[in-house]
Chains A and B, each alone.
Chain A
Amino acid sequence: MTSESLVELNDVEFSYDSRPILRGIRMKFPRGKVIAIMGGSGCGKTTILRLIGGQLKPTAGSVRVAGQEVSGLDHAGLYKMRRRMGMLFQFGALFTDLSVFENVAFPLREHTRLPEPAIRDLVLMKLHAVGLRGAAHLKPGELSGGMARRVALARAISLDPMLIMYDEPFTGLDPISVGIIANLIRRLNDALGATSVLVTHDVEASMKIVDYIYIAAEGRIVAEGTPDEIRESTDPLVHQFIHGEADGPVGFHYPGASIAADFGLEARP
């Protein structure tokens, strides 16, 4: 592994039962960069994040984070590594019985023995970074989708992680919220000196903030490059994905019986 790479996936394969999800995945995430993994729904993007976080184990290949083989870690080792990771889930995954303040304070209370005034200051600083210091007293049910995502982001960075993972951070948000979250991802990554991995299918928002892009389809990496390289790609699949075309290498129709067979149009004997 090169010293610049924080995360490295080599020939990773993953299957649910006998259904293959990922095949021959090779990726490198250099330190300090923001990387996007893009692709259609169900192409295995989120599975990659779960493999990096150790929630799933690859059926073949290796996933290394900060030089450690994730699947080789025991329970204690895995949890020790996760303390240096932050993850933003698709819909925030805030604890609904806790206030915004307590949600952000949760990792600090669980992993540190800081006195209450220090926890208060840290939580308010994190909330200030995402622009929600004034919402500390609210419950998750009182937040909009964008606000919930920002609180979850504040919680994800509360222990100043080396790696921040984002699972579909823009899904279901209005354009203003998308812009806010995208800016925060870039700004917080640079301020914390962290490495960020973004799983998304929002081309426009992520192209503006990421340093490098991997495009996944049918469990494989089909293209990679900087945003400019991806934009100029002549690969038909990349072109279809970037421009959101309805038909192309990824067909509009789900595979099935022929139209003649379904509508009884075949010649009868």
Chain B
Amino acid sequence: MIDAIRQVGAKTVNGIWKFGCATRFSFTMLARSGMCLRRPQLVLDEIYFTGVLSLIIIIVSGLFVGLVLGLQGYETLKRFGSAEALGTLVALSLVRELGPVVAALLFASRAGSAITAKIGIMKSTEQLSAMEMMAVDPHARVIAPIFWGGAISMPLLAAIFSAFGVFGGYLIGVVIIGVDSGAFWSQMQASVDLREDVMNGVIKSVVFGVAVTLIALFEGYDTPATAEGVSYAVTRTVVTSALAVLALDFVMTSFMFTGV
């Protein structure tokens, strides 16, 4: 019994310690972001690494999610005689919820794991130490550009995911099932509000991008310098990012769409 309490206590202290380290790491990285402004090419390279290289999985997933939404939505709406509202259903589901959340989960799996592996291997092979000894600050030269690259890429990927999702819904609803094209688009246009729906979705995706990229960077930076350490760090990035995205989504949805 005493051992169990002791273990809970140790894990709590470790958790608080790690949270403190992560906070300090984040502030150091933000404080040394000046190089990103002086050398924007560093951020552009990371947008390519985290964003452009994630495009395939985002586009294909967005399209399939849209196709499924179109099918399921049509079957449900048909029962109430409002199949023309399919465009509204697909667009609102994607823009408010599925676009940011699913894109963030995919981003965590594709780009987050790659970021952790890259930083973890740079640490375990002493590349970060070598950079420090060459009087080049790794926080400014490596960490901050990846952070800003991820934070910029994520909202763009979520937007692309939603756009391809809507296109998937259109393909199933209008082209294959035969819902009226005019009704599909006009109902969507009438019911999707730029500020309420689109902007809130964008805010969500920015928050998810910041959270996932920070988690991935910190896990890579904090990893023990061994192959096993890097492998555990990559797993932790995906699991922690997924949980963080879902928890943040619930909190933000509570404030944005239900007026809590």
Contacts and interface: CB of A to CB of B under 8 A. Distances in A.
A86 B130 CA distance: 9
A96 interface: yes
B133 interface: yes
A90 B126 contact: yes
Contact of B133 (A75, A85, A96, A110): A85
Contact of B129 (A79, A93, A95, A155): A93
B134 A107 contact: yes
Contacts, number: 48
B4 interface: no
Contacts of A107: 134-136
State the majority secondary structure of interface residues on A.
mixed
Nearest to B118: A97
Contacts of B135: 79-80, 82-83, 107, 110-111
B125 interface: yes
B134 A55 contact: no
B184 to A, nearest CB: 46
Contacts of B136: 106-107, 110-111
B115 to A, nearest CB: 14
Interface residue tally of chain B, by bracket? 10 to 19
A67 B206 CA distance: 49
Contacts of A106: 134, 136
B127 interface: yes
B81 to A, nearest CB: 58
A99 B135 CA distance: 20
A53 B133 contact: yes
Nearest to A87: B133
Given A53-B133, A95-B130, A96-B127, 17 more contacts: A53-B132, A55-B132, A79-B137, A82-B132, A82-B135, A83-B135, A85-B133, A89-B129, A89-B130, A93-B126, A93-B127, A93-B130, A94-B127, A95-B127, A106-B134, A107-B136, A110-B136
Interface of B: 121, 125-127, 129-130, 132-137, 141
23 contacts: A53-B133, A55-B133, A79-B135, A80-B135, A82-B132, A82-B134, A83-B135, A85-B133, A87-B130, A89-B130, A93-B127, A93-B129, A93-B130, A94-B127, A95-B127, A96-B125, A96-B127, A107-B135, A110-B136, A110-B141, A111-B135, A152-B130, A155-B134
